[in-house]
Amino acid sequence: MFKIKNASICFLIVICVMFTAIPKLMTVQGDTVSESGYGDVNSDGCVDPLDLMVLTRYVAGWQGYDLIVNKANSDVNCDSQVNSVDVIVIARHLANHSGYSKLPYLSNVEHETLALQTPAVLIDVSTHQGEIDWKAVAQSGVKYAIIRAGYGNCLYEVKSDKTVSVQIDKRVGYNIEKAKENGIKIGIYWYSYADSVEDAKKEAATCLGVLNSLGVTPNDLELPVAFDIEETSRNKSTLKRQNTDMVKAFCNAISTAGYTPMVYSFSNFFKNATYYEEFSDYYIWFAHSTDNDLSAVKLNGLDIDIWQYGYAPVDSIKGIVGNVDINRTYWDFNCNYKLEKHTATVVRKTTSVSTTLYSQPSTDSNKVGTADKGVSMKVLFVYGSWSYVYADNGCQGFVSNSHITG
């Protein structure tokens, strides 16, 4: 993988760490809030993980979330501003941390230790990390791993009258087996040397062949299968069209096979050598070191799903000798709020005479509003057969996808 160095720990890291601290609570329907409404970020009458997700995305600058954040309710430490500190307070409230049972929380959160030394939430590994002690890795707090399956498009060649594997990662089988055995959620990446669309298609077929040989089905992966495109020879503006088509060829083949596709590269490559706007159907894994300048961790008009921001300090993650890349994810792949690709710019219209909006993706949850036929709704995210929408009539909540079109 492309290596990025000297990244400082900043609030977004803490935000994502806090997400992984509460996976067991992601199935709750929510706690009733006090009359003050503190913590009820989306004004649906309860404080639950949905509020945490919405506020996190608002603070991180995701499109559309300014429409649904109730800023008065979100200022849970009463400092007259809505920022990462409020995210931390709500996360700790949901995780039942001592002293955070009631909102607002009026202590000085900023001067507390904010879990800045917590090990990486997500690592990516290959044979270069040697034999990993996955039990120790899990005990260090790592929740997710993206594992290299191989590289290029030639799996086997004949050497001395023997057919040998040459481009399968030598430790992929071991890493997948032991990571899952120790409760770590996994994804896959494939390093590309492709120089044409046909090469990219062959690489996809090769990657799928490796997964098939290992017995790894789409249901065995909690994270996507990534196309890692970063070769220096491809980082040219004159290759934008070809690079873009290569990414799409690989990712579409992965999707056709039933896996979830993702594209990995570093900031300059995305912006200089691809038409990244065409990758909206894929998860985005974005490599960029930053010194507290989060404005650089973005692609205009496209959401970043995983951010690779640097190395874990040597020996900070037990079970791995030497360096390992660390990442933060905008998604919680380890809970029931495993959402489909973010679609904040999509607008739909209601098809029923009267469409009901709910506080949760279930008709058994509280009704939070209605919309007449033809009312436009901005879709903020999709959850299975439901969408969370902001309607032109001011209502917001979950609506069945069968009741909207466009």
> In angstroms, rounded to a whole number, what is the distance separating the alpha carbons of residues 292 and 310?
13
User: How many degrees, rounded to 5, is the angle at CA 55 between CA 54 and CA 61?
Assistant: 95
DSSP states along 331-377: S-TTSS-------TTEEEEE-SSEEEEESSSSTTS-EEEEEETT-EE
Using one digit for the tens of pLDDT, what is the confidence trace for 270-321? 999 999 999 988 989 999 876 445 556 677 767 778 888 887 777 778 899 8
CA distances from 258 to 177, 227, 230, 236, 255 (A): 21, 15, 25, 32, 5
pLDDT tens for the chain, 406 residues: list them: 433 333 333 434 334 433 333 332 222 334 545 457 899 998 888 888 788 888 877 876 776 788 889 999 999 888 888 887 788 788 778 777 777 888 888 775 543 333 323 334 689 999 999 999 999 999 988 889 999 999 998 765 555 555 445 689 999 999 999 999 999 999 999 999 999 999 999 999 999 989 998 999 999 998 999 999 999 999 999 999 999 999 999 999 999 999 999 999 999 999 999 999 999 889 899 998 764 455 566 777 677 788 888 877 777 788 998 889 988 776 555 433 333 444 344 567 878 788 898 877 788 888 888 888 888 887 766 666 788 777 877 777 788 888 888 7
> In angstroms, rounded to a whole number, what is the distance separating the alpha carbons of residues 123 and 349?
40
What pTM, to 2 d.p., does this model score? 0.59
Instruction: Quote the tokens at residue 181.
Output: 């055995």
Using one digit for the tens of pLDDT, what is the confidence trace for 153-212? 876 555 555 544 568 999 999 999 999 999 999 999 999 999 999 999 999 999 998 999
Separation of first and last alpha carbons in the chain: 40
